[in-house]
Structure 1
Amino acid sequence: MFAAVAEQAERNPARTTVVVVTWRGREHVGGCLDALAAQDRPHRTLVVDNASDDGTADLLAAHPSRPRVLRLGRNLGYAGGLAVALSHVDTPWVAWLNDDAAPEPGWLGALEDALDADPRVAAAGSLLLRADGSVQSAGVRLTPDGHGADLPEPPPGGEPFGFCGGAVLMRVDALRAVGGVPADFFCYYEDTDTAWRLRLAGRRIVTVPAARVGHRHGASTHPGSTQFHLWNERNRLLTLLRCAPAEVAARELTRFAVITALLPARRALGREVPDARNFRVSLRLRVLGEVLARLPETLSARRRIGRRRVVGRGAVWHRWAGR
């Protein structure tokens, strides 16, 4: 299999670099690389190893597909790893693929065909499937309070607000033109933020149902953990401050602060409070502290995004929020 892939790559130059970011991925990244080697389109594979200490480096070095590996000195997270990788990509298209994902053989071909079909499409997302075959994500919708939420089925017309960053193909020039990847997000919402900036730039995003990917969601990040909720809550607010209309960003930041302030009183009065970690006051105070500490940098990024946009922030919000 691997020799055939090498021969095909020599005959047909690759248009896509597939970036796989891993951290302590020894138990699953091999399956991801095996699935990439079985793709029916030539491509380059670039693995960013976030300073894994579990034997991942040895597995990558021994894998017969011989991926190019960037081994980082410390863990920069998924977003940080993608940002580092972007400067090493010299193909016109780049795919993001989670290390716990295994695309079907026609995955890359289906995504490339979608970009070929319409030059206005900047990003083509995949159909991510759980182990039982149910859909984890068919794209991302924008909720009325500014959350990026996975769609359980492809949207009408095949065009969602955004894509799931676990398996997506993008035009490199479009990604760079909107500012690349928000590296300091570390993990989560880098996809929603990137999709939002592409929308502000007037670009299209589609879901390609034929691009099917099995996904062991959360193999490295433990959904439901304190860190998971910290990244999610913080990065949602940062995305709103960077991309949303000013009144929406101010409203949601204020709402988050007010709910945080009222939680102790609600508990003291015996009123029901959700048991999820993101309703713990200590975590919410950490979120607010990190958002406020980054506010000058975030507002500077907002101005840069504003200078690049060709569609109004309000127009994007009213077109997509709540759908």
Structure 2
Amino acid sequence: MSQVAIVILNYNGKHYLEQFLPTVLTHSSGHEVWVADNASTDGSLEWLRAHHPEVHLLQITDNKGYAGGYNYALKAIEASYYVLLNSDVEVTPGWIEPVIAYMKSDPQIAACQPKIRAHDLRSHFEYAGAAGGYMDYLGYPFCRGRIFDTREEDNGQYNDTSDIFWATGACLFMRADAFHQAGGFDERFFAHMEEIDLCWRLLNMGYRITYCGYSKVYHVGGGTLHKSNPRKTFLNYRNNLIMLYKNLPIGRRWKTIFMRLVLDGISSVRFMATGAWPDVWAIVRAHFAFYGMVHDLSKGLKRTTYRAPLYYRSVVWEYFVNKRYTFPELPQLYKKGFPIAPKS
């Protein structure tokens, strides 16, 4: 069994493999590199076999999405640590060692992410993860280094290690036994927010989710679904509701979901104002899809000790009303490094 297995889930991403896989191989010497292919039709498999026979290839017969694809792949790969790496990520020299060393320092660290910078604006943080993810009490994810559409320039302000709420799936270091103990990703998500759901469950199990700013990668983002795609809107809105239903304490569940439904309605008005009607219908479909899943979600719920700390204010209010656009500007109440909510 290898210590570290780098696993790239690919779906019609041949152009990204051509661009970024050679760098992954160069800067990951001594570690296994796998490509799990989600039934691509763009010649990815043929290109891999011809140009990189040293890469371990795992074929999946149908597109199972991010959640199902990684669950399928990681059942077949033996390692102490997995690195779940998007195909549109450029890694840098020495990107693995600081994270693995940090995770080895505490067996309760289940997951860790490096610093995520933007490939298109290399001095700034990227949307998907930035310097570590958090969640406000209404279920809105945000990051150190990125809140909604505002990305901070990286001036070394997050050159640290820190406990966070969620680590990005774009470059996700996972302790293998913790991943399997938690049951992996929830395949009902298909794609988007499944890593936040997994991190939330791991926190409730007593594990730590962390960030290591001494490792750095560059992420293109939107490689499979661009942020303007209504399919992405549907998945984000539906999956957020699923995540809240699954992970919130019973006493806060429906109150929080009701507030989110109202806020989702307000956001659909913003889409209307810009003429983005496909996104409006995507939100409507997301809500009805969630309603249709409640019975199934209820059957799978387990009572757990609630440990996951949520940010105690509304990040939407702070950003859009109070004009606080960066993480350091947010009012913060810390407990073990977290901006948190009072106990429910």
Q: Give the Cα separation in 1 of the matches to 2:266 and 2:137.
A: 22
Contact 1:125 1:208 (C-alpha < 8 Å) held by counterparts: yes
Percent identity over the alignment is 23
Q: State the partner residue of 2:56.
A: 68
Match of 1:217 among 208, 221, 230: 221
Instruction: State whether structure 2 residue 11 is matched by structure 1 residue 28.
Output: no
- Give the counterpart of 1:158 among 138, 144, 162: 162
What residue number does 2:104 align with? 116
Contact 2:271 2:280 in 1 (8 A): no
- SS of alignment partner, residue 135 of structure 1: coil
Partner of 1:10: none
Query: Shift of residue 14 of structure 1?
Result: 3.1
Q: Distance in 2 between matches of 1:32 and 1:262?
A: 39
User: Which residue of 183, 190, 208 maps to 1:186?
Assistant: 190
8 Å contact from structure 2 (residues 161, 213) kept in 1? no
Structure 2 CA distance for partners of 1:193 and 1:167, relative to 1, 3 Å: same
Distance (Å, rounded) in 2 between the aligned partners of 1:159 and 1:141: 10
Offset, 1:88: 0.9
- Take 1:172 and 1:235, find their aligned partners in 2: how far apart are those partners? 24
Aligned to 2:324: none
Larger displacement relative to structure 2 (293-302 or 153-162): 153-162
Alignment equivalent of 1:128, drawn from 116, 121, 129: 116
1:54–1:176 CA distance, 2 compared to 1 (3 A): same
1:8 matched to which residue of 2? none
Aligned-pair distance for 1:273?
5.8
Q: Which moved more, 1:55-64 or 1:192-201?
A: 55-64
Q: 1:260·1:285 contact (CA, 8 Å) conserved in 2?
A: no
Structure-2 separation of matches of 1:204 and 1:69: 31
Give the alignment's TM-score, normalised by structure 1.
0.83
Where 1:58 maps in the other structure, the secondary structure is helix
Of the three residues 6, 9, 16, the one matched with 2:4 is 16
Partner SS state of residue 126, structure 1: strand
Q: Kindly report the root-mean-square deviation, in angstroms, between the aligned alpha carbons of the 2 structures.
A: 2.8
Output the TM-score relative to the length of structure 2. Answer: 0.78
State whether residues 94 and 171 of structure 1, in contact with CA within 8 Å, keep that contact through their aligned partners in structure 2: yes
Distance, in Å, in 1 between the alignment partners of 2:182 and 2:60 is 25
Q: Residues 123-272 of structure 1 correspond to what in structure 2 (within 5 A)?
A: 123-131=111-119, 132-133=121-122, 134-136=124-126, 137-152=130-145, 154=158, 158-258=162-262
> What is residue 45 of structure 1 aligned with on the other side?
33
**Residues 1:206 and 1:154: Cα distance change in structure 2 (over 3 Å):** farther
Tell me the secondary structure at the aligned position of residue 113 of structure 2. Answer: strand
- Within 2, Cα distance between the matches of 1:27 and 1:272? 32
Shift, 1:288, TM fit: 1.5
Q: Which moved more, 1:274-283 or 1:65-74?
A: 274-283
Q: 1:94 to 1:285 in 2, by over 3 A?
A: same
What SS is found at the alignment partner of 1:169? Answer: strand
* Paired residue total: 300
Q: Shift of residue 321 of structure 1?
A: 6.8
1:299 pairs with 2:289: no
Give the Å deviation of 1:64: 2.6
- 1:181: how far off? 1.0
Residue 41 of structure 1 deviates from its aligned partner by: 5.0
What's the CA shift for 1:256? Answer: 4.2
Contact 1:14 1:42 in 2 (8 A): no
* Counterpart AA for 1:291: F
Gaps spanning 5+ residues in structure 1: where? 1-12
Structure 2: which amino acid aligns with 1:285?
V
